[in-house]
Structure 1
Amino acid sequence: MMGEFDAIRPYADAEVPAVLNRLLADPAFLQIITHFRFPRLSRHFSWLLKPLIAHRLRSQFASINSVAALQDKVEVYVDRSIEHATDGVTYSGIEHLKAGKAYLFLANHRDIVMDPAFVNYAVYHAGLPTPRIAIGDNLLQKPFVSDLMRLNKSFIVHRSLTGRREKLAAFQLLSAYINHSIRNDGESIWIAQAEGRAKDGDDRTDSAILKMFHMSRKDETFAEVIGGLNLVPVSISYEYDPCDQAKARELFIRATTGSYEKAAGEDDKSIGLGITGYKGRVHLNFAPPVVDGFEDSKQLAVEMDRQILSGYRLFPAHYLAYAQWADRDPALQVPDATELFPAEELAAAQQEWQKRLDACPAEQRPYLVVQYATPVRNQYRIKAGLPL
């Protein structure tokens, strides 16, 4: 029997073995794994390496017959790639989360794959079940990517629909699924605060997403629905963004030509760079659940912004960028980096920041600066009680 959510939901335990078999027979998937494991050899010997890797993976994953078992198996690799690409991950506020309770995590969005991966990492290491992850269908161009994501508790958000009626139906289904997951299945959800990454560093909550949570329960008030979803604002802060140069280039092209056309394979490139690129330190802050007193989505969006932006951890590079920013706010009392950080830490940051500026074409540099400077302005505006 077809379930109501079959078109978008993650795979269930019973489906895991068949999907794994399908993945391990997919040449495109095996090519990527081969290239990842043996970057040099794969160029000339992928015909030889692919069957060997498929055989090895088959034996490694032969006994896997549930999503939890798969996550346990994969966690070792996730931890390893996190340790390679960061100078450590810290979190605050995780004590607000209680075992046996499902949450709706609403997070700022900087990196396609790593934002939810870091939330998973934090929650998993706190001994809590990982959330189901919202992912746009624009990122699922290849069948194996869709299989991989749905194996890892991802559900699909249909973004590429153009008709108004289809869009509305997709939002309705998404709303019903999120509510069903939290209230009936007792499974947490991760979703970004807005569609697409905040490429200029200005993290803002799209009230349409908050409105969507209410869509499937119109007979109840907005406040009642939100009150029952355990909505947790999550701030994800990267000391350095591996995709910052690409974002600066896109912002520059948009500003000078009025639009930007993505090249074929650009998302795949961003995903790869986001996973493997150097991030410095990473910090996640989980605010206490926002449960009451919000009558509409606009009002709630303001509170979400307040929580997410004030929970953001500012690193030395953010202050260095702010000091160079042509559009900084003279009315804001922002301390100098030298007042906040030890000399050694600051010297290392100055070196890394300069390296990034040097690698960026001069005309694109202001768009690199804005990515790091904006979170400083936003946080100090909140501290001063000013509107954002």
Structure 2
Amino acid sequence: MFEDIRPYRDNEVVDVLKKLANEPELINAIATFLVPKLTKRFPSLTRKIVQWSLKKKIKNWRTIDDIQLHVAKYLHKLVENSTKGFSYDGVDNLDFNKPILFISNHRDIVLDVALINWALFKCNAKTVEAAVGDNLLHKTWVADLMRINKSFIVKRSEKTKREMLTASKTLSAYIHHSLTDNQQNIWIAQREGRAKDGMDKTNAALISMLLLNKDKAMPISDYLAELNIVPVSISYEFDPCDHDKAIELAQKETNGDYKKTADEDLKSITQGIVGQKGRIHIAFGDPIIGDFTDSKAIAAEIDRQIINNYKLYESNQSAYQVLHNEIPENELIPQLLERVKDLSEVQKRWLLTMYANPVFAKKSLTANDIDHV
């Protein structure tokens, strides 16, 4: 059941790990990431050493939990090395005796869910099964790598409307099945693709997809109680990919489109992981319960919580003040001045916009007019 989209199970771990340990592209990617200079000078030797080290490390891994424990150790080092502080709140208000469908804003391809998992791990709660779009899984080994770490696949590349509807119904059924039958926590982003402009907005179509599995006779409120949706706000003081996002947004504004390079997603993932992020805060909201008329109303409540719980940093306030002529550009905080110095005027405006939009969103909440700067 759900064989082509579900995460791998414990009884599949050993075979999948063997495949991955013999995947040349993965070995090369690890070598390039860990020891780029050595890989460039002695590629063959370095790859052999990396493969030997990988096989030694994974030889005793037998379950998904074994892998998750290793990932937790890596996340601990990542937080220590690439942030100036990690905090979270709202966990005490959640009942972890019932599986939760976490829906968060989406800023980083990998880190959003990884950091939510880190917060859950630190408070002894189950980590999530995470949704990942098949647009990121161009190679079989990449899909294997994601599925062995509790990810399930969201099919976005179906060619016809009928195929897309079938895929959406299957995904809706899988999420409900995983929550209610498998008792797994789930994570999915509030929209497809990162909010590169800093404006966090839930796609109502996502909520419609979640409701596809609902029996027509069942009230929405009852089905929401089964899904147990909890909005999550992820706030980064600095975005390691802000420079590239600003260039993309400026090009879209100027030329009307933007074409990714073949390795752009991998570059974004790497930069998001290793780049300095300043402080990070995760705020867990309250379960979405009660009577809602439709998907748009549910999406609006998710937006309200995500925006209301979003933690604003000086980076956000400073960018907002410049864009609204409250302070001159040369009074930006030093970190933002450094980030915009090599950008064109259009690119600079977009970089500041992505930091300013969370401030604008909070100010707009009371007027119910969430829009772009």
1:223/1:295 contact within 8 Å kept: no
- Per-residue deviation, 1:39: 1.6
The correspondence of residues 8-19 of structure 1 with structure 2, limited to 5 A, is 8-19=5-16
Equivalent residue number for residue 342 of structure 1: none
Count, aligned residues: 366
What TM-score does the superposition give when structure 1 sets the normalisation length? 0.91
Shift of 1:78: 2.0
1-structure distance, mates of 2:157, 2:65: 30
Residue among 345, 360, 365 paired with 2:343: 360
Verify the 8 A CA contact 2:8 2:147 in the aligned structure 1.
yes
2:224 to 210, 223, 226: 226
Whether 1:374 aligns to 2:357 is yes
Q: How far apart, CA to CA, are the structure 1 residues paired with 2:248 and 2:215?
A: 39
Residue type of the partner of 1:114? Answer: L
Judge conservation of contact 1:109–1:196 (CA < 8 Å) in 2: yes
Task: Give, in angstroms, the shift of residue 264 of structure 1.
Answer: 1.4
How far off its partner does 1:127 sit?
0.5
CA apart distance, 1:385: 4.5
CA distance in 1, matches of 2:65, 2:98: 17
1:159 maps to 156
Paired position in structure 2 for 1:319: 317
After TM superposition, give the deviation of residue 252 of structure 1 in Å: 0.8
Counterpart contact for 2:220–2:291, Cα < 8 Å = no
1:302 paired with 2:328, answer no
Q: For 1:76, what is the secondary structure of its paired residue?
A: helix
How many Å separate the matches in 2 of 1:207 and 1:96?
Answer: 26
2:24 to 24, 27, 31: 27
Q: Which amino acid aligns with 1:254?
A: K
Point out the more displaced range, 56-65 or 5-14.
56-65
Query: How far apart are residue 224 of structure 1 and its match?
Result: 1.8
Q: What residue in structure 1 maps to residue 334 of structure 2?
A: 351
Stretch of structure 1 that moved more, 268-277 or 54-63: 54-63
TM-score normalized with structure 2 length: 0.95
C-alpha offsets along residues 336-375 of structure 1, whole Å, 9 cap, x if unaligned?
9xxxxxxxxxx9x811111012132233111111101110
Aligned to 1:272: 270
Q: Is the 8 A contact 1:357 1:365 kept in 2?
A: yes
Q: How does 1:59-208 map to 2 (within 5 A)?
A: 59-208=56-205
- Structure 2 unaligned runs (5+)? none
Spell out, residue by residue over 1:147-204, the C-alpha distance to the aligned partner (whole angstroms, 9 max, x if none). Answer: 1110110000001123100000000000000000111110011000011111111100
Segments of 4+ in structure 1 off by > 3 A?
A: 384-387
Deviations 1:103-159 (CA, angstroms, capped at 9, x unpaired): 000000011011111111111111111010000000011222111110110000001
Paired-residue identity, %:
40
